[in-house]
Amino acid sequence: MSEAITAPISPVPLRADARVIGLVGMAHATSHFSHLLLAPLFPVFMREFDLSFSDVGLLMTLFFVISGSGQAMSGFVVDRFGARPVMFASIALFALAALTAATATGYGSLVAVVMLAGLGNAPFHPVDFTILNQRVSDARIGYGFSAHGLTGNLGWALSPLFLVGISSATNWRVAYLCAVALYAVVGLILWLNRDALATSTAKSRAAAEKANPSQRTGVAAHPLAFMRLPAVWWCFSFFLLSTVTLAVVQTYASSILQAVHQVSFEAASLTLSAYMVSGAFGMLVGGWVATQKASHSDKVVARSMAVGALLLILCATGWLNGTGTMVVIAVTGFAVGVGGPSRDMMIRKATPREATGRVYGTVYSGLDVGFAISPLIFGTLMDGGWYGTTLAGAGVVLMLSVYVALQVGRITRAATTQ
């Protein structure tokens, strides 16, 4: 286990840390942009290629299956070869996915797009957190986690604006060619600043120990040894549970508002945007909180998720009118966002330093699993007209994540005192 972070002052220049954080944030925004590479133009593809809702829905399921399974495995690749080359490979896959979309001739082409984008997205969390943990000073790592979460939200927000805007002005093929150009620009910026993205590898660490025997830590652990750590699976469970709730809000909040409170489609859609924007502001605040409360990150996460859960359950009661419900859902985004940087800090403390990529890959695959199973569970409730139950269920699941976060903290503290 890594030790708790206690350094209050960083000897590393602010400019150096800011450079790494900015580059990783830009790359992370690109990966979230790629989550929605097809979804904003689904109506166009349905009309162009005569597809059903089930057809396009299957595309998103395929994306998250590939991304989730690949994410767990890619951590091993990151630890072995370093984060930087894997990042460049991911950007190249995104560009190829966009080029495939620009030349699509049918459903098979769209399947190829999500497969390429899913493969490109799979390594991003192991890549990002390996770079942040190795290159950003302890005193500023909380701000790095904050910026990481914030830029991810911005990537989600940019994708529909970029693709729909260009498609409306020209056509959808031009929109995807512009996406190829966007990936190329991002890749060029990362390449020109590649020195800031270098990380150690298993091979380089072995060479260093051979050159300096005093650095040896004993017999090398098996590559899968981290899987025996209970904290890893508690962290995985946390991501799964919290993402199930996020998926409910993203997928069904608009429909629930329209059905229960007769809110207009435009206003209901705006509520989801408000949730995401509030979450981004929450992450900004959460970066400061994570830095100040680094030794109690599990408690910060637990309190943030508890507040979010209670707000969702309040919305589910129907006591609030349409406007009140929309406001409270937006505030829920802020509450959950505050806990985001501390969540990443919590995982960092539960991660052996030599297995960063593997642990983050495994833990963050819970995010993809949550996105995949949430519609299967709560879609049935929605089909049955159980709108309030759906929202309450999301709150209950989020409340379960509170217990999981506290378990992570308990196990981590116990390990550091041994």
Contact 355, 226 (CB under 8 A): yes
Instruction: List the CATH code of the domain at 225-416.
Output: 1.20.1250.20
Q: Rounded to the nearest 5 degrees, what angle is found at the Cα of 183, between the Cα atoms of 88 and 78?
A: 20
CA nearest to 26, candidates 167, 160, 162, 185: 185
**Token duo for residue 11:** 């000897």
Output the pLDDT for position 119: 95
d(CA 395, CA 163): 33
Residue type, 258: Q
Output the pLDDT for position 401: 95
Structural domain boundaries in the chain = 14-201, 225-416
d(CA 200, CA 198): 7
Kind plus residue range of the DSSP H or E element containing 107: helix 107-121
pTM above 0.85, yes or no: no
Output the pLDDT for position 181: 98
Residue ranges in the chain modelled with pLDDT below 70: 1-10, 202-223, 225, 353-355, 416-418
Map residue 37 onto helix, strand or coil: coil
Output the pLDDT for position 179: 97
Contact 313, 390 (CB under 8 A): no
Output the pLDDT for position 277: 83
- Tell me whether the CATH fold assigned to 14-201 matches the one assigned to 225-416: yes
Q: Got the DSSP string for 15-43? A: HHHHHHHHHHHHHHHHHHHHHTSSGGGHH
The highest-level CATH class for domain 14-201 is mainly alpha
Q: Which residue's entry shows tokens 């597809």?
A: 51
